[in-house]
């Protein structure tokens, strides 16, 4: 069991909520929220302040930053 899994903040402006979820369930959480609350529209998103960081983190994870 890993204790290093990053917790990613999800922000939904429409609901006025911010929720932290483990990276591994991020996509599922977003999809569930948006499908149950917003008819599948992509309203809830990863908090903008971490979106860039997350993108590079995931890219590193996948080795996308390697030449
Ligand atoms: Zn919402």
pTM for the full predicted model: 0.73
Q: Give the Å distance between the CA of 37 and the centre of ligand 1.
A: 6
Residue 53 pLDDT class (50, 70, 90 cuts): confident
Q: Give the Å distance between the CA of 64 and the centre of ligand 1.
A: 31
Strands ordered across the beta sheet of 17-22: 17-22, 7-12, 45-46
- pLDDT tens readout for residues 17-40: 999 999 899 999 999 999 999 999
Residue 65 pLDDT class (50, 70, 90 cuts): low
* Structural domain boundaries in the chain: 7-62
Q: Give the Å distance between the CA of 11 and the centre of ligand 1.
A: 8
């Amino acid at each position: 069991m890993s204790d290093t899994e990053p917790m990613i903040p999800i922000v939904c402006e429409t609901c006025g909520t911010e929720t932290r979820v483990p990276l591994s369930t991020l996509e599922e959480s977003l999809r569930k929220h948006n499908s149950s609350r917003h008819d599948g529209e992509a309203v809830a998103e990863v908090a903008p302040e971490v979106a860039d960081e997350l993108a590079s983190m995931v890219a590193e994870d996948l080795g996308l930053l390697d030449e």
